[in-house]
Amino acid sequence: MTAHVALGIDIGGSGIKGAPIDLTTGQMITERVKILTPAKSTPTAVAEIVAEIARQVSGALPDDAPVGVTIPGVVQHGVVRTAANIDKSWIDAKGEKIFSEALGRPCTLVNDADAAGVAETRWGAGKDHDGLVITTTLGTGIGIALTYNGVLIPNAELGHLEIDGHDAETRAAASAREREGLNYKDWAKRLQRYYSTLENLLWPDLFIVGGGVSRKSEKFLPRLSLRTPIVPAVLLNGAGIAGAAALAADPAADGVA
């Protein structure tokens, strides 16, 4: 039976955020707890914070509530395989085991964009959309979630597509706009190149654009000319937390479970 409440914890470059999630609505049951990501974000340092967040929200959750945790890297069978924008000591770390030991209970570890995509297709901008939905998170890197009829195909690392000789996220992520001081018009040209490449390769039914910058989507989405509908994310900050909780409670939503 699927649980009705689960804890989601989202590990990001600047903050680690967690909250108990109502799995019927995807909403947080209590206010989320946020703790700054340590400067040296090694598995041990991050695991301590994950355990602290779980302690702080424990009053709002049954002891056996599922726990889902996200990480900005590929996760295969609980092991972190890549670390493009996190401490390199994560590569090949047994993340799920490390967190489970720190939490004193089992947990499910998933890629951050996969969690956001699951939440958006279940409760957000992709709700009621059939077919292939590609959720993209534009932040430090570019995260991608592929969901087909709501089922996740995990670990699609298409933020690293090589386009015009570059790793796409180094040109089109939100961090590239900030780093290079681009205005939205010039950044949108890069997004145009990125999203048109994606749509020509995968022919999705819908693009969802998440990440903090999606709050300003009116500055760049109208500049894009694509055959695929493209819409801003709805859950914004809460998507990673909600999706982690959903995947922990219902591993069948993940195509490989």
Binding site for ligand BGC (CB under 6 A): 72-74, 82, 84-85, 111-113, 137, 139, 141, 143, 157, 159, 169
Nearer to ligand BGC, 74 or 102 (CB): 74
Instruction: State the alpha helices, DSSP H only, in the chain.
Output: 43-57, 95-103, 112-123, 168-172, 174-180, 184-202, 239-249
Output b/e per residue, 102-118; b: 16+ Cβ within 10 A.
bbeeebbbbbbbbbbbb
- Residue number of the CB closest to ligand BGC reads 141
User: 41 vs 82, which CB is nearer to ligand BGC?
Assistant: 82
Half-sphere exposure of 18 (CA within 13 A, CB side): 29
Rounded to a whole number of angstroms, the minimum distance from the CB of residue 225 to ligand BGC is 25
Task: Give the nearer residue to ligand BGC in terms of CB position, either 53 or 71.
Answer: 71
Q: Are 9 and 244 in contact (CB under 8 A)?
A: yes
Cβ closest to ligand BGC, residue 43 vs residue 72:
72
Compute the least distance from the CB of residue 126 to ligand BGC, in Å: 17
Q: What angle do CA 64, 257, 45 make, to 5 degrees?
A: 55
Give min distance, CB of 216 to ligand BGC, in A. 18
Tokens of 225: 């000319």
**Nearest distance, CB of residue 142 and ligand BGC, angstroms:** 6
